[in-house]
Every structure is written in structure tokens, then in C-alpha cells.
Amino acid sequence: MQIIIYRGTHQIGGMATEIRSSTTCILIDMGDELSLEKDFKSTSLSISGVTDTNGSCAAVLFTHYHGDHIGQLKKIREGIPLFMGPLAKDILLATLSQNTDSLKRRIEQARTFTSGNGFKIGDLFIKPFSVDHSACDSYMFLIEADGKKNLHTGDFRLHGFRGKETTKLLDQLNDKVDALIIEGTTLSRIDTQPMTEMELQQMVRFYIDQYKYVFVLCASTNVERICAMSKAVPRGKYFICDEYQSNLLDLIERHWGKTSSHYQNIKKTTYGKNLLPQFLKRGFLMMVRVNGKFRDIIRLFPPEKSIMIYSLWDGYRTAPGSTIPDFLSLVPQWESLHTSGHASPKDIQTVIEKINPDIIIPIHTDNPEMLRTICPDRNVVVLNDGETFTI
């Protein structure tokens, strides 16, 4: 089995990994690069057999729907099957902007898989496993061919609402793994230990008790966190969102409502001026985004009784030219309340110990060598983009 990481051996984002057996080639993810620079444009990936006809690719699998993993989907040539999780597919379709008919058609044609149920592509046997991440419906892939097994983690963490499920999954993975391709986003922040999503939810409850009007700036597709925000709102107060966010919450309840009470009976009210007197009287937690519509809404409420919770990566706020600081200033009091969507260095070590692979390949990191430091007794192989590695 051969592995080629086209992008991601020494950077975070822009992911694309090829897995090749003696007869079959697949690609995992096809993402845009990340940058906080104004007007930045990601370098287009050019992969033989994927973006052109100078080779063969049997399928492209997506770990999840974040742009640094799926942003260059439209560059995949027609005729190559796409695979993704069923909820991820519906979320992608719900978030498409106008004038994207060709992209919508490609996503509508994508095939879906479910956690734990394996399938074959050529002579590759692939088993997806649902994992916790800030994009719900994220997956690891166990890939078997030529007598070898490779586990590609995608992006994951253990401190989210489904972190324990991810740990149990790894405990049940009795397969001997020859190579582990593992994300290492936090390897450049080795001393950090993120708060859990449960702790974040408790902090939200604290602010709801302290302030009558609570505005939350959070990624709309971080649907599990928004579910937690809704569950934190006590009886007598509103959880408010707009139609777009309401549709995303309906999707997660429809797909996952039977799996946990966390996704059932999601309390929500769609904003409307006709309800303004009730909002003013009873108070609320409201999901907002940085645009003129929400600026006007925020100005309707007494600032001395209001707080803004910033629940995004702080780099977005501090980036040159960011409009977020101006948006936060609409309310005199604001607090940062966020936790990473990525595994801490400690949790990366935990996964490595549980999997016990022969070879470890760091990916999705700008500091891959750090994995050798925190796992000195392991066979860590640091690749370069485009390098072919055979297991």
C-alpha cells in the first residue's frame, strides 16, 4: 500500500491524501489552504487522475465538511464517485450559496456511508468510524489492502460531547494497524489543554444567569455546540436563531435525534419583529453572525443588560482587517468562550497508545517533528508533500 500526502505534511489545512493499492487509488479530502491574509486564494491542487485524465482515481472520500478538507471538491473531474457522511452531505447542501448549481449537483450525487459499516472500492476495504470534531459527522477511515492496514484519523478530538464514544471506538478497534496517519493541529501548542464542550456549556449557563440578553457569535455549522447553547437556556427564556440556523438544527435532529437526547427537542424560536416585546420582557440567548441584519437587531436591546459571547478561534478576531472587533463593540461587555475542534497533544498520545501502530505519519500540522518529541519511542515518519511512502 502506498501513501502520498499532496498537502498537509507541514501545514494546517488544504488536505489531500492518496491511498493506493496494487490496483486501486483513492483520495481522502480535497481542501483549500487556510490563511488569515486579506484576499488570500488557496493554491489549486493538481493531482493526476483526480483533476485531469492522466491517471485513475476510483473515488474521493471526505472526512468532513470544513473548507480545508472539501473546499476544492469542484476541481475533482466528473465521473469520479464522491463519498461522505449523510448528515455532512445534507449540511453541505443547506449551506450552498446561490449560483452553485454544478457544485450542488456533484454533492447531490455523492454516495454516503455509515459508521462501522465497511465497503469496498476496487481491492480496498474501507471502514468509516464517526468521531468527535467541531464539524459534526466527521470520520476516521480504516483502509485495508495488500495485507496492510492504514488508519487515517481526519480531524478529531476527545474533549467534545462525543469524545467518549471516540475513545470506546478505539478500544474496540482490534485490528493491527500498520500505519496511522494522524492529525497534529495542536502540536505547535504543546502545553495547551482545551476546556471540554461540557465545561463550555456550563459557562454559557453562568452568563445566561448574569445577563438578560446573551448574543453568541459562533460558526453556524458547529451544530453540536449550538445544540448545547439551546439546552443551556432555562425555561422562561428564548433560544433565538434565524431560518438558516434553524434548518441546520432540524438536520441534526432528523439525522441524530434517535442517538442522544442532546439532539432531541431542540428549543428554538426564529427571530421576528412581531415577537420583539416578548424577547425584551423574557430575555434570551441569540445566535448571531457578522452582518448588517444582526447589527440592527443587537441595537434594539439595552446594552447594559447584554453580553456578547465570542465562540470562535481567536485568530479570526485578531486577523488584520477583521470586522469582528467592530461587531463585538456593539455590546459593551463581551467574553471569549471557545474550545478547539482538534485533539490536544495529550489526546494525540492517547490515540497512539490505543492504536499501537507500527508507523505514525503526522498530518494537518505545521510542526510534525514535535510528534517525535512527545512520542520518542515510536516510529514517527515525517513526510514531505508529494512524497510516496510504501507500507
Nearest alpha-carbon partner for 218 in 341, 333, 97 = 341
Identify the residue with better confidence: 35 or 379: 379
pLDDT of residue 99: 60
Distance, CA of 181 to CA of 190 (rounded, Å): 19
CATH of 197-336, one of 3.40.50.10890, 1.10.10.370, 3.50.50.60, 3.40.50.300: 3.40.50.10890
Determine the topology of domain 2-190+341-390 in CATH.
Metallo-beta-lactamase; Chain A (3.60.15)
pLDDT of residue 98: 61
For the chain, report the end-to-end CA distance as a whole number of angstroms: 6
Residues 46-80 as b/e (b if ≥16 CB within 10 A, e otherwise) read ebebbbeeeeebbbbbbbbbbbbbbbbbeebeeeb
Residue 234 and residue 263 in contact, taking contact as beta carbons nearer than 8 Å: no
CA 223 from centroid of its chain's CA atoms: 10
Q: 119: which residues sit within 8 A by CB, 6+ positions away?
A: 113, 125, 126
Kindly tell me if the per-residue pLDDT of 121 is higher than 90.
yes
Distance, CA of 278 to CA of 345 (rounded, Å): 46
- Domain extents in the chain: 2-190+341-390, 197-336
The tens digit of pLDDT for each residue in 141-188 reads 999 999 999 999 999 999 999 999 988 888 878 778 999 999 999 999
The tens digit of pLDDT for each residue in 47-104 reads 999 999 998 999 999 999 999 999 999 999 999 999 999 999 999 999 987 667 788 9
pLDDT of residue 261: 87
Q: Do domains 2-190+341-390 and 197-336 have the same CATH topology?
A: no
The tens digit of pLDDT for each residue in 290-305 reads 999 999 999 999 999 9
Nearest alpha-carbon partner for 126 in 81, 70, 88, 78 = 81
* Residue 63: CA count within 13 A, CB half-sphere: 33
